[in-house]
Amino acid sequence: MGKIRILIADGTDIAKYGLKAILEEENNFEIIGIAGNGKNACKLFSVHEPHVCIISSNISDLNIHELMDNFRKFRKNPRVLVLTNSTDFLHLNQALKAGVTGYIVKSTNGNELKKAVKSVARGEQAFSTSVSKMITKRYTDITQKKDDQKPAQIITKREREILRLIVDGYTSSEIAKILFISPRTVETHRSNLMQKLNIKNTAGLVRYALEKGEIK
């Protein structure tokens, strides 16, 4: 991939042009459009088909499901990074159900934002640190409530380890280093998890873990 082509959609000028300024510090980024609402974002997407869309949660005319449905008219798997003030579980879960690739809070720093954009451009899941902590807490709370239940035997111990690391935002190569296995082995476990759980993508794995608490 050459330059990563980015579309920004935010309801406020300060935010969207501030994002533009931060992202343009990266030589490998190209801002191909800036929209102030969801309808304009969809128009720009249809013309430019960016690699990554950064969508602010303050877009009021279209919700994230409507935006994703519109984007899919032009690209089967649009790569969308939600920028939000919320670390609410329900908001995150709705975004994941809609099929977003990343979820970053607005208090994140520039370097973390740039890293997230690069991850999303590669098709990888990206969460800001505070969101990952929120997800992990959710797992812990659910798991503690399931003391009298046995975890689903369908998932092996190794798969469970990998699922936890996926949720924490690690890439396959980073997981491989942590577990002292090859990236190819990680991808095999990831594929097996998706097949066993009838899940099509990484966002689905994260959502499964969030809802079922399948982390121990």
pLDDT digits (tens, 9 = 90+) for 133-191: 777 776 666 555 554 444 445 788 888 888 888 877 788 888 999 988 998 999 999 88
Contact 52, 6 (CB under 8 A): yes
104's torsion region: left (phi>0), alpha (psi -120 to 50) or beta?
A: beta
Tokens of 115: 């890293």
- Structural domains in the chain, sorted by start: 4-127 (3.40.50.2300), 133-212 (1.10.10.10)
Question: What φ, ψ does residue 31 adopt, rounded to 5°?
Answer: -85, 115
Contact 170, 205 (CB under 8 A): no
Tokens of 47: 């013309």
Element (H, E) at 206: helix 202-212
Q: What is the pLDDT along the chain (216 residues), one digit of tens a residue?
A: 689 999 999 999 999 999 999 999 999 999 999 999 999 999 999 999 899 999 998 888 989 999 999 999 999 899 999 999 877 777 888 888 888 999 999 888 999 999 999 999 998 889 888 787 777 776 666 555 554 444 445 788 888 888 888 877 788 888 999 988 998 999 999 888 888 888 887 777 887 777 765 444
Query: Which CA distances in Å does 142 have to 56, 88, 134, 214?
Result: 29, 16, 12, 9
